[in-house]
Chains A and B, each alone.
Chain A
């Protein structure tokens, strides 16, 4: 359980226009763990994710499954780290759903039968049977998100990296996707603003802002810290805030009933 599958040490990255995106980032994730990376817009979350499969290469060390990312092991690393991008329109670039899901396995030079088997099985698993011939451009956002996930799961990765997986989704579709994520028993790393999603899926949270780690800890400890969250343009998730309100209401009720009981006792005695 304690095997570290991703280790990021002193990672720094600047874009060509000299914008500093990551400053001295440090964090790690253990096998089977679900880690959330939260932070405001422009915190550097997506930039960080692109370092985890070597699409971007900053200064510092990124180790995946014990291997330092280098030119030689890029292919192996990308096979192990499945990345689902924020906008499914960026991820689905092939003319049909089948071609898109088969894109990764084809690049692994798998056998034709194996590719067909894997594609059919993953589409079935995600409730996308019969979608193979459809063009991704004609799908709804929820369907596109599911197909994006299929394009990655078909590679059978060990680590699943999700960038804003529930952004712009209606509550019903969001619930379906969260249930799917819950069923995936892999190491998960989720970059998001959606703190309710974090509460449901993650055990550990890394809060980052302006390209650096601000806080790291157990999910509930970080998400209950109102000041910390508000200082970084976030807020306590609705479900936790409601729980807090309920507890306060309950306390108030108990206090009232206690004072009423006392008054009645005094009256009766009087």
Chain B
């Protein structure tokens, strides 16, 4: 799942956007997301400009549109759920509901595209280190880092359990029985995860851990970073204020 979502290849030299300092990208995309969220739902042309900004950055970073679309699919179940709950539980006039839905859809998709471009042009651990440098609490960055590192193992363990179950169920189980088996697998997985976390903590203590994870950073702001920050934010300010 993580490999489906995050960029794992060392593609730091792939494009201009890839080569940017992660801190610059995080700050820039943060402001772009803020601009999208605070745009009125009736400023359609602004949404169009944001959309073209993202398309331009996608082309610039040479991300295949297919990769972007694959990730975008993830958000649709959530959007459909939100739309359904809005239609069934909110007693607003139809046109008002439609307006809320438009607002929800366009902003969610644009924000999600921002995140997709960011994570497809930045290696995960650079992203975490960038966040650390931007003073995001270390507990959060450590949690992100551990979740990412161990998600692969968690998925492997889940797959092993599923195979073991499959090999003993002979393909003739009813759907309800399948669900009950899964409910047995999940606590087992959590128990294994808990045991692993205990062992990891012991390994950390053995190497001098005293409650603070430290890393060496190799980030340096260059001319290209300043150039990008300047252009990006001038353009964004123009869209937000003037248009």
Residues of chain A within 8 A of B153, CB atoms compared:
89, 137
Give a binary string over A58-97; 1 marks a CB under 8 Å from any B CB, 0 the rest.
Answer: 0000000000000000010011011101010111011110
Kindly state whether residue A166 has any CB partner on chain B within 8 Å: no
Report yes or no: B124 in contact with A95, Cβ–Cβ below 8 A.
Answer: yes
26 A-B contact pairs sorted by A residue (CB < 8 Å): A50-B202, A53-B205, A55-B206, A75-B210, A78-B207, A78-B208, A85-B206, A89-B196, A93-B149, A93-B150, A93-B200, A93-B203, A93-B204, A95-B128, A95-B148, A98-B216, A99-B125, A102-B215, A102-B216, A103-B204, A103-B213, A104-B208, A106-B214, A106-B215, A136-B149, A137-B153
- A91 to B209: give the CA distance in the assembly, Å: 12
Residues of chain B within 8 A of A124, CB atoms compared:
none
Report yes or no: B207 in contact with A152, Cβ–Cβ below 8 A.
Answer: yes
Residues of chain B within 8 A of A98, CB atoms compared:
216
Q: What residue of chain A has the Cβ atom nearest to residue B206's Cβ?
A: A83
Kindly state whether residue A227 has any CB partner on chain B within 8 Å: no
Kindly state whether residue B76 has any CB partner on chain A within 8 Å: no
Most B CB within 10 A of own CB, among A89, A112, A138: A89
- A133 to B125: give the CA distance in the assembly, Å: 10
Give a binary string over A128-165; 1 marks a CB under 8 Å from any B CB, 0 the rest.
Answer: 00000101111000000000000110010000000000
Report yes or no: A133 in contact with B207, Cβ–Cβ below 8 A.
Answer: no
Partner of A99, one of B196, B199, B209, B215: B215
State the majority secondary structure of interface residues on B: helix
Report yes or no: B152 in contact with A137, Cβ–Cβ below 8 A.
Answer: yes
Partner of A91, one of B145, B203, B216: B203
From 185 to 233 in chain B, residues with beta carbon under 8 angstroms from any chain A beta carbon are 196, 199-200, 202-210, 213-216
Report yes or no: B207 in contact with A151, Cβ–Cβ below 8 A.
Answer: yes
Residues of B participating in the A interface, judged by any CB pair closer than 8 Å:
8, 10, 124-125, 128, 145-146, 148-150, 152-153, 196, 199-200, 202-210, 213-216
Q: A79-B208, A108-B208, A136-B149 are in contact. Are A90 and B216 (CB under 8 A)?
A: no
Q: How many A-B residue pairs have CB under 8 A?
A: 84
Q: What residue of chain A has the Cβ atom nearest to residue B205's Cβ?
A: A55
Residues of chain A within 8 A of B215, CB atoms compared:
94, 99, 102, 106
Residues of chain A within 8 A of B202, CB atoms compared:
50, 55, 85, 90
Kindly state whether residue A107 has any CB partner on chain B within 8 Å: yes
- Closest approach, in angstroms, between the C-beta of A145 and any C-beta of chain B? 14
Q: A93-B146, A99-B125, A102-B216 are in contact. Are A107 and B203 (CB under 8 A)?
A: no
Give a binary string over A92-126; 1 marks a CB under 8 Å from any B CB, 0 the rest.
Answer: 01111011001110111000100110000000000
Partner of A78, one of B148, B206, B214: B206
Q: What residue of chain A has the Cβ atom nearest to residue B214's Cβ?
A: A106
Residues of chain B within 8 A of A81, CB atoms compared:
206
Residues of chain A within 8 A of B199, CB atoms compared:
85, 87, 90
Report yes or no: A133 in contact with B10, Cβ–Cβ below 8 A.
Answer: yes
Q: What residue of chain A has the Cβ atom nearest to residue B151's Cβ?
A: A137
- Closest approach, in angstroms, between the C-beta of A133 and any C-beta of chain B? 6
Nearest 7 CB-CB pairs, A to B?
A107-B208, A95-B125, A104-B207, A90-B199, A106-B214, A83-B206, A137-B152
Report yes or no: A135 in contact with B8, Cβ–Cβ below 8 A.
Answer: yes
Q: A96-B125, A137-B153 are in contact. Are A115 and B216 (CB under 8 A)?
A: yes
Given A87-B199, A89-B153, 5 additional A-B pairs, CB 8 A: A83-B203, A83-B206, A95-B149, A104-B207, A112-B216
- Closest approach, in angstroms, between the C-beta of A141 and any C-beta of chain B? 13
Residues of chain A within 8 A of B124, CB atoms compared:
95
Residues of chain A within 8 A of B196, CB atoms compared:
89-90
Partner of A106, one of B146, B148, B216: B216
- Closest approach, in angstroms, between the C-beta of A84 and any C-beta of chain B? 9
Q: What residue of chain B has the Cβ atom nearest to residue A101's Cβ?
A: B207
Report yes or no: A107 in contact with B145, Cβ–Cβ below 8 A.
Answer: no
Residues of chain A within 8 A of B213, CB atoms compared:
103
- A75 to B199: give the CA distance in the assembly, Å: 19
